[in-house]
Structure 1
Amino acid sequence: MAMVAARAGVSGQTVSRVVNDSPRVDPTTRERVEIAMVELGYRPHRAARALRTGRSQTIGLVVTTLATVGNSRMLQATAEAAAERGYALTLVTASAGVGAAFERLLEQEVDGAIVLNEASAQVSSAALPSGLRLVVVDADADPGFTSVHSDHAGGAAAATRYLLELGHGTVHHLAGPSGSFAAAERERGWRQAVVDAGAEAPAVIRGDWSAEAGFAAGESLAAASAVFCANDQMALGLLRAFAEAGRRVPEDVDVIGFDDLPDAANYRPPLTTIRQDFTALAQRAVDALVADIEGAPGVAASVVPTSLVRRSSTR
């Protein structure tokens, strides 16, 4: 830092202010210091900064699996959102339970943690380490932490209403696994829309989010004329099952998914689906956690809107 100060012709305190992004630096001076940093190959020392500030500038991310596309997309979006705020990201899996994952994160001296999706269901029953700041994605509101989630129920209701408006007497539902907050909310939105329309809700067919589960559900849904799938991957398997059974989509049966994965537009036929904004979801989770870490005003629980994307799997 002293060498940077000498090269730029400023004080060490000025260099420190530039490194810490203080607004109390003249733009011309800031540019001169940043040029000197580049020329000398200067990089802030994370460990030294942690000793001085009491913060590691690192947040943890807890997941049960990265096999699902939703979790993988949230990992990428969270890493990008954390980097924008100047934080590194440490990933741990909750294979031995959320409590064990929290202990591993504390050993790595993270400033806080974000818990994703399936792992979120374990938080309320886990022993939360004292002092660990926490934001949970896809969980019921709890006074012990901030929760952030997509509007699963609203999106599911929009998909179901759209199918009913096409003239179907009812809508079948290929649901996600029991114990999943997102699956339960999507089922709730579907059921409420069917009941509100004065229709009878058929028995739920349950899958595990995979395309294989969607394919396996094809036989149980052979008589359906409209199906709302709890995610796009299961919808993909169901489309294959219908095709192999000689059922045309959308001529014989309308199908809607949930998530709007990048590949959904290239399914055959292109999939009508509910779009989740993974980027906004990750940014809200990171913003809430960083606000807590840095002592900013608290961020309330947040619900991220979803939207219906119409494609060719519906008439």
Structure 2
Amino acid sequence: MIFVLSGKNVELARAEVEALGGKGRLYDNFLFLDAKFDYSRLAYTNKVLKFLFKCKKSDLKNKFESFNWKNVYKNNFCIRSNKTKYEKDFAKFVWDSVDNPKVQLVNSDTEIWIYFGKDVFVGKKVYDREEKFQKRRPDLRPGFYPVSIKPKLARALVNLSGVRKGMIWDPFCGTSGILIEAWLMGLKVIGSDLDPKMIEASKKNFKEFDMKGRLKLGDSRKLKYKCDAIVCDPPYGRRASLHKTEIEKLYKKFLENVYGFVDKVVLMAPNNVKVVSKYKKRLVAVDYVHGGLTRKIYVLTRD
């Protein structure tokens, strides 16, 4: 398969896919990986293609002419490319090689993609991401707080856990942005927060998305829940000051508390904050928010 990754954050996009499907090979923003799972879970992958062939640009015409298009053609077809001027030029080769050819530009059963880079990659589309994140923007939810995590990033963090089935706990759930995405992916959820206002906001959002799960008012440095992974965006900045706790000390105490019973933790931290724990720490990606804030995304494991 060819995973066509978002160019906005290739590191994060790659890590998200590999957490669910295993190690792949990266060329530019194309990740080659033989893996099957629910591709609709992915946040930073634009398309998934069945790999057909790779060649130099100078060999592309010959490859199109000699390729057995009967093996991939179904009902109708269209050619798409990141350089649209070539689409019509190569459509004729498919047309001439199949029985009863039919071109269908919208909702085609056989959508062939040509990507031009240092080499040329050709594949048949098997998944195309539908952009639905805007419909779940934090400001459109009944329980809203200005610094809530955006759904696209929240979904990616859940995927970094690698949990396909099971329980996700967010000990700093806020308005439950991470839990909403986990729930929509079919996972079970637990949320907790030290701020009563956040728990009330989460209850509204649970009702809005018809979610089932546990919400608990409590301190992440003391609570203990069995789960398959913790996925969280611990507080910092304005929200952290509400609890009068130094951010680094909060992170350290929280991780000390959960180390004995949770094998994996996915979390974000500001660039200037040290994450200290017994967990094995892996920096997955960097999220550039704006000039004053850069966040690092970590996956912590006990093995």
TM-score, normalised relative to structure 2: 0.32
- More helix by percentage: 1
TM-score, normalised relative to structure 1: 0.31
- More strand by percentage: 2
